[in-house]
Amino acid sequence: MLKGRGTDQVIPGRFAKQSSTAVQDGWPDTPGAETSAPTTHCTPETARTIITRNTSPDLPFTQSINPYRGCEHGCIYCFARPSHAYLDLSPGLDFETRLTAKVNAAERLRAELARPGYRCAPIALGTNTDPYQPIERQWRITRSLLELLDQCRHPVSITTKSVGLLRDLDLLESLAQNDLVTVTVSLTSLDAGLKRALEPRAASPERRLGMIRELRRHGVPTGTLIAPVIPALTDHEIERLIEAAAKAGVQQAGYVLLRLPWEVRPLFRDWLATHFPARAEHVLSLLRQARDGRENDPCFGSRMRGSGPWADLLEQRFRKALRRHGVQSRGIPPLATTHFRPPQAVPEQLSLFDT
């Protein structure tokens, strides 16, 4: 495995017309040709639209924005990896190292919010890839979006596992004063070693819990999402994760069972064989028990939580832990939409009366 990366696999996307496979041909390796850790490359992208809309009954929002394609955190389980296939890039290593940044995101958002027919509804940031992954420090696209949303008094929810979010605490405080923001901090494991293998470039568990405490200290409504819950690997931690999050001050919590859509499945299988070879089949066996015999379930209603006895037991454990620690599954009031002030649209051509 490559240090600091979730995978070293450059598997082809499902739309690729050509692919290549490295094989050992018997010739000795060239001296000095050892594989080095690949650097991250980020390409600017000009987006035509920026708000994505959905009607999924599994999601608590209808509008979302993803400032970046790909994610440098390198989480091996990330369900967004297959989206890189649409760019003719590998959902494996390319997803972590060949990123794109939507440099005109705030401009497009301004135009879309200014449309006469726009109806205000909360916008979710971080639904596909993390809006605060390391490249945000340089590109500052997420901050530009928050600045506009704050100006317009538009509600926004953020999901992240990065303490980079605290750089925008001034904007979050301003939004929170009018019930316009919620933050969900993703937690996977309290085991730092397991975290490094699962999420090589994400913040440590301790730093994420510290971020929750800081957000609550500044009055920002905060919850946690325990995701993904991996059978026989992280599921035993669910009670301890809820306890730690409750002590940090979260107001609500949820969880998502491991999902393995499309190219994520072979990548996760390879990761298991590398890091937990003795436990790999047990992990997948329990997952199949919770997925009606399959390793992935794409169906609405069951894809997030699973079904069957094992999944039901996990749900019962989760609910019991919430009650024990005084955390709710829906403990944050709905975001306000009545404060919205449409921005003034930037004209695409000069006015007839401009001088």
**pLDDT score of 32:** 46
| Per-residue model confidence (pLDDT) at position 347 | 62
What beta strand segments (E) does 73-189 contain?
Answer: 98-102, 123-125, 156-160, 181-187
CA distance 327 to 246: 7
Whether residue 271 is contained in a domain is answered as yes
Q: Which of 132, 131, 10, 179 is nearest to 81 (CA)?
A: 10
Categorize the per-residue pLDDT at 12 as very low, low, confident or very high, splitting at 50, 70 and 90.
confident
Mean of all residue pLDDT scores within the chain: 92
Residue 347 lies in a domain: no
Domain count, the chain: 1
Residue 7 included in any domain: no
In this structure, of 3-7, 20-24, 285-289, 290-294, the range with the lowest mean pLDDT score is: 20-24
- Evaluate whether 90 touches 11 at the Cβ level (below 8 Å): yes
How far apart CA 33 and CA 205 sit, in angstroms, is 36
Please state the pTM of the whole predicted model: 0.91
**In contact, 262 and 16? CB cutoff 8 Å:** no
Q: pLDDT tens across 78-108, in order?
A: 999 999 999 999 999 999 999 999 999 999 9
CB 76 within 8 A of CB 137: no
Taking CB atoms within 8 Å and a gap of at least 24, the contacts of 33-41 are 35/2, 35/8, 37/2, 37/3, 37/4, 37/5, 38/2, 38/5, 38/93, 38/97, 39/97, 40/72, 40/96, 40/97, 40/99, 40/134, 40/135, 41/97, 41/98, 41/99
The per-residue pLDDT for range 267-283, each reduced to its tens digit, is 999 999 999 999 999 99
- Is pLDDT above 70 for 284? yes
Burial of 355 (0-12, 13-18, 19+ CB in 10 A): exposed
Q: Domain for residue 339, yes or no?
A: no
The pLDDT assigned to 355 comes to 46
Position 27 scores a pLDDT of 65
Average pLDDT of the residues in 309-335: 96
Beta strands in 230-345 (DSSP E): 252-257
- Written as one string, the DSSP assignment of 154-166 is --EEEEES-GGGG
Instruction: At 159, give phi and psi (nearest 5°).
Output: -120, 125
Q: Give tens-digit pLDDT for 225-263.
A: 999 999 999 999 999 999 999 999 999 999 999 999 999
Domain holding 195, by residue range, is 48-325
State which of 55-64, 169-178, 345-354 shows the largest mean pLDDT. 169-178
Residue 354 forms part of a structural domain:
no
pLDDT higher than 80, residue 352:
no
Q: Are strands 68-69 and 98-102 parallel, antiparallel or unpaired?
A: antiparallel
Closest CA to 144 of 216, 223, 68: 68
What are residue 124's phi and psi, to 5 degrees?
A: -100, 130
Supply the pLDDT for residue 350: 56
| pLDDT tier, 126 (very low <50, low <70, confident <90, very high otherwise) | confident
Q: In this structure, is residue 31 part of a structural domain?
A: no
The tokens for 291 are 């997925």
- Find the distance separating the first CA and the last CA of the chain, reported in whole Å: 62
Q: pLDDT over 90 for what percent of the chain? A: 85
Picking from 154, 139, 155, 59, the residue whose alpha carbon sits closest to that of residue 105 is: 139
Does position 351 have pLDDT exceeding 70, yes or no?
Answer: no
13 domain residue, yes or no:
no
158 falls within a domain = yes
In the chain, the percentage of residues whose pLDDT exceeds 70 is 91
Residue 258 belongs to a domain with what CATH number?
A: 3.80.30.30
The whole-angstrom separation of Cα 230 and Cα 222 is: 24
pLDDT tens readout for residues 200-227:
999 999 999 999 999 999 999 999 999 9
